[in-house]
Amino acid sequence: MPDVAVIFGGPSPEHDVSVLTGLQAARGLAGAPGPTIRALFWSKTGEWFDVDPTLEAEAFMEGVPKGAARLQLMATPDGGFAEPGGRLGKTRTLDIEAALVCCHGGPGEDGTLQAALDLAGIRYSGPTVYGAALGMDKLAFGAVVSSAGLPTLPRVLLTAQGDPPPFDGPYIVKPRFGGSSIGIDVVEDAATARARLEANPHLRLGAVVEPYRPDLTDLQVAVRSWPELRLSAIERPIRASGGADILDYRDKYVAGEGMAGATRELPAQIPPELEKELRHAAETVAGLTGLRGVARIDFLSDGRQFVVNEVNTIPGSLARYLWVEPAVPLVTLLHDLLEEARRRPTHAYSASGADGTVLRSAGSIAGKLG
C-alpha cells in the first residue's frame, strides 16, 4: 500500500516553524488508521531526508536529526523521492500516493516546491504553483485584490531611485516576497525607507511600502477548499505587550507551540456587519488566489472598516486552531487536505497543437538565423 508523506522544513526563515507544523501533522495522521506516514524533512541547505515521524522538535535543533536517511527528489515523470545508494548504485523510489506540504515561507510556499512536485508526478496538498506564487508576492496580491474592488491600503514598490511613495509617512516596509512578518520595519520617512533597502537583508529581492497605521488591528480568518469552501471563526491575535510596533515573528511563533500557543481573541468580538463583510471578502480572496488546501487571510481593521492585508497559503499549524465554530478535529482537516491532494489536480500540462506542423514548415535553423 502506498504511503502518505508529510513534507516540512526547507531553506526558509520559517524553517523551524515548519518543523513544528510538520511534526504536528505527522502526529495527527499517525493517530488515525490509514496508510503509513513518512516524514520527509527538507534541510536548510536544501537536502531531503526520510526521518522518523514520531520525533520531537528537539531532534531538529542542531540540524538533520540522527538516523535520517538521505533522499533525492527527481523531477521526472517516473521520479519522486528516491533512496540512493542501494547495491550497484540503484535507487529505490518511495511509493507516495499523496503529500501533505507543511512548508512555510521561501521555496516551500512560493511555488518552487510545488513545481518540483508537479514535475516529479507527486500529488500534494495546498496551493498550486500559481496560487503559491501569487500569495507570496505582496505587490501582485495587493493589486489583484484591489482590482477586484476589495479595500486595501495603498501598496507600492520601494525603489532606491524612483519616486517617493505617493502617500505620507510613517511607513511600513515589507519584503515583497516573504511568507511571514520577518524583515518588516516601521520607518518615519521615505529616505529611511530607502536606507532600509540596503541595510535589511530580507529586502534584497524587492520591497513594498505602505502607510503605517498603528490604529488598525489584525483580524484573521482561515478558509479551506475541500470538500467545499468553508470559513473558520474570525480571530483577533493579541500583540505582545511592550514597544513592539507590529505583530512580529516572535509574537507569532516563538512564544508558544506554533500559533496554537499564541494569545488571541477567538472568535473576535466585532460588529455583525463587519463580520459579514469580512466573510464575503475572504470568499472573494479565496477565488482570486485559486484557493487550494487551507489558507489564512489577514485583514487590518479599526473595528468598523477593514482592508485586506495578505494571504498565507500554507499557514502555521495549518491554522488548525481557528476551526472552533463548528470545531473541526485536526485529523479531519488533514484527511480533507490529503483527499484534495489526491482528487484535485494541480496542473494540466498540454501539448495539444504542437503536432509538428511548425517543425515541418520551418526549414533549416541556419536559414532562420540568416
Partner 1 sequence: MTNFVPTLGALTGLPWGPALLGPSRLHHGVAWVTVVAAVLACGPAGLRWLRVAQREHYLAGSASRFASRWWRVTPANGALAAVMVVALGLSVWWPLAGVVAAAAVAAGPIGLTLKGRTSPLAWTRRLRTLALVWAALEVVVVAAGVVLGPAAPVAVLAAVAVPVLVDLACLVTSPVERRLGTRFVDEASTRLARVHPTVVAVTGSYGKTSTKGHIAHLVRPTRTVVATPASFNNRAGLARAVNEHLADDTEVFVAEMGTYGPGEIAELCGWCPPDIAVITAIGPVHLERFGSEDRIVEAKSEILVAAHDVVLQVDDPRLAAVADRAAAQGKRVLRCSAVDRLADVCVERSADDASVSVYLDGTVVSGDVTVPTGTQPTNLACAIAVALVLGVPPGRVGQRLADLPSVDHRLQAARSGSGVAILDDTYNSNPAGAAEALEALRLEAPHPIDPAAAGSPRSRPRRAVVTPGMVELGSRQFAENRAFGSAIAAAADHLVVVGRTNRRALLAGVAAATPSLDVIRVNHRDQAVTWVREHLGPGDAVLYENDLPDHYP
Helices (DSSP H) in the chain: which residue ranges? 15-30, 112-120, 129-136, 138-147, 190-199, 249, 272-288, 330-343, 357-360, 365-369
Please tell me whether residue 360 binds partner 1 under the rule CB under 8 A. Answer: no
26-45 residues in contact with partner 1 (CB under 8 A) are 43-45
Closer to partner 1 by CB, 204 or 213: give it.
Answer: 204
Q: Which is nearer to partner 1, 61 or 324 (CB)?
A: 61
Site for partner 1 contains 351 (CB under 8 A) = no
Distance in Å, CB of 15 to partner 1, minimum:
8
Q: Is 157 in the site for partner 1 (CB under 8 A)?
A: no
Give min distance, CB of 348 to partner 1, in A.
Answer: 31
357 near partner 1, rule: CB under 8 A = no
Considering the rule CB under 8 A, would residue 242 count as an interface residue with partner 1? no
Site mask for partner 1 (CB under 8 A), range 170-199, x = bound: -----------------------------x
CA distance 288 to 134: 10
Give me the DSSP letters along 225-256.
-SSS-EEEEEEEEPPPSSS--S--HIIIIITT
Write down the least CB distance from residue 204 to partner 1, Å: 8
| Residue 352 in contact with partner 1, rule: CB under 8 A | no
Query: Per CB under 8 A, which of residues 56..95 are in contact with partner 1?
Result: 61-64, 66
Interacting residues of 228 by C-beta distance below 8 A, sequence separation 6+: none
Q: How far is the CB of 61 from partner 1 (least distance, A)?
A: 7
290 binds partner 1 (CB under 8 A): no
- Closest to partner 1 by CB, 13 vs 80, is 13
Cα separation of 71 and 50, whole Å?
A: 7
How far is residue 289's CA from residue 310's CA, in Å, rounded to a whole number?
A: 11
Residue 270 carries which side chain, given as an amino acid letter?
I
By C-beta, is 158 or 318 nearer to partner 1?
A: 158
- 300: cell is 487590518
Among 72, 93, 200, 284, which residue interacts with partner 1 (rule: CB under 8 A)?
200
Residue closer to partner 1 (CB basis): 104 or 202: 202
> Cβ 199 to partner 1, closest distance in Å?
5
d(CA 23, CA 46): 18
- In order of 73, 102, 106, 157, 249, the CA distances from 182 in angstroms are 28, 18, 11, 18, 6
- Is 116 one of the binding residues for partner 1 (CB under 8 A)? no
Is the Cβ of residue 61 or residue 143 nearer to partner 1 in the bound state?
61
What is the closest distance, in whole angstroms, from the C-beta atom of residue 4 to partner 1 in the complex? Answer: 26
* 229 vs 244, beta carbon nearer partner 1: 244
Q: What is the β-pairing status of strands 48-51 and 171-175?
A: unpaired
Q: Which helix (H) or strand (E) holds 92?
A: strand 92-93
Using CB under 8 A as the binding rule, whether residue 160 contacts partner 1 is answered as no
Distances (CA, A) of 325 to 203, 224, 230, 267, 338: 38, 14, 11, 8, 22
Number of residues binding to partner 1, judged by CB under 8 A:
16
Strand 185-187 relative to strand 230-237: parallel, antiparallel, unpaired? unpaired
Would you tell me which residues interact with partner 1 (CB under 8 A)? 11, 43-47, 61-64, 66, 199-202, 204
